[in-house]
Amino acid sequence: MGIAERKESDKEVMRKKILDSAMRLFLSEGYNKVSIRKIADAIEYSPATVYLYFKDKTAIFNALQKVAFDKFYNTLAGCLKIKDVKKRLDEIGELYMKFAMENPEYYDLMFIMSAPIDREKATCFMDDRAFNLLSGTIEEVFKKKGIKNIDVEATAFLLWGFSHGLASLIIRKRLALIPDEHLKGLFQKISKMLDKKFFQ
């Protein structure tokens, strides 16, 4: 059955080709400017061919989202090289905002964009991996510091909620009137506040 296998791998190659083009277009021009025709042009096939490999445009969207989540988790996982759990937690915050600011299109794709989402798949919930990394680290910090009366899940949601709130407001340009400098200072000030109140 060598032919069937080769065909299967050909299909994979083609799918990857489509996704690569889609992601390139997506990152350079934004989601709403990615059309099936442009993707087809880029890979030098007809628009209809794309539909032989993906059910519709949202199937492509979902595949791209998976790519973004992988990149996102790999970035956050960079914190694991830091052994001090408190410093590791700080690093997660840093890496989270850095990722959002440097990869706004990826961030948009994962957490903001309103293209139809697979409610079946767990990926809509931040990506369990990343959330577990956060709450796991918080738990360790609490353990190390002997903090007992604070709910870990609630704290994780507070930190994530705030970070996402700020990141999404910035990405969607709702804080465009506030100078970058001021915003950065604000974020650091709030981080210190939270640190003082919750982790000491």
**Rounded CA separation 173/175 (Å):** 5
Binding test (CB under 7 A) with DNA, winner from 9, 24, 30, 52: 52
| Binds 48: which of a second copy, DNA, none (CB < 5-8 Å by kind) | DNA
Long-range contacts of 67-73 (CB under 8 A, 24+ apart): 67/19, 67/23, 68/103, 68/106, 68/107, 68/109, 68/110, 69/110, 69/123, 69/127, 69/130, 71/103, 71/106, 72/99, 72/106, 72/107, 72/110, 72/127, 72/130, 73/127, 73/129, 73/130, 73/133
**Rounded CA separation 144/111 (Å):** 32
Tell me which residue of 104, 107, 101, 76 sits closest to 91, measured CA to CA. Answer: 76
Contact between 43 and a second copy by CB under 8 A: the answer reads no
Beta strands in 61-147 (DSSP E): none
To the nearest whole angstrom, how small is the minimum distance from the Cβ of residue 4 to DNA?
6
Contact between 65 and a second copy by CB under 8 A: the answer reads no
Contact between 174 and a second copy by CB under 8 A: the answer reads yes
Binding test (CB under 8 A) with a second copy, winner from 151, 179, 180, 184: 151
Q: Which is nearer to a second copy, 82 or 175 (CB)?
A: 175
Contact between 147 and a second copy by CB under 8 A: the answer reads no
- Pattern of binders to DNA over 72-91, x per CB under 7 A? --------------------
Q: Tokens representing 72?
A: 């996102």
| Binds 3: which of DNA, a second copy, none (CB < 5-8 Å by kind) | DNA
Contact between 150 and a second copy by CB under 8 A: the answer reads yes
Of residues 3-32, those binding DNA (CB under 7 A): 3-4, 6-7, 10-11, 14
Tell me which residue of 109, 127, 116 sits closest to 26, measured CA to CA. Answer: 109
Contact between 131 and a second copy by CB under 8 A: the answer reads no
DSSP state of 115: S
Contact between 113 and a second copy by CB under 8 A: the answer reads yes
Binding site for a second copy (CB under 8 A): 108, 111-114, 117, 119, 122, 124-126, 150-151, 153-155, 157-158, 160-166, 168-169, 172-178, 186, 189-190, 193-194, 197-198
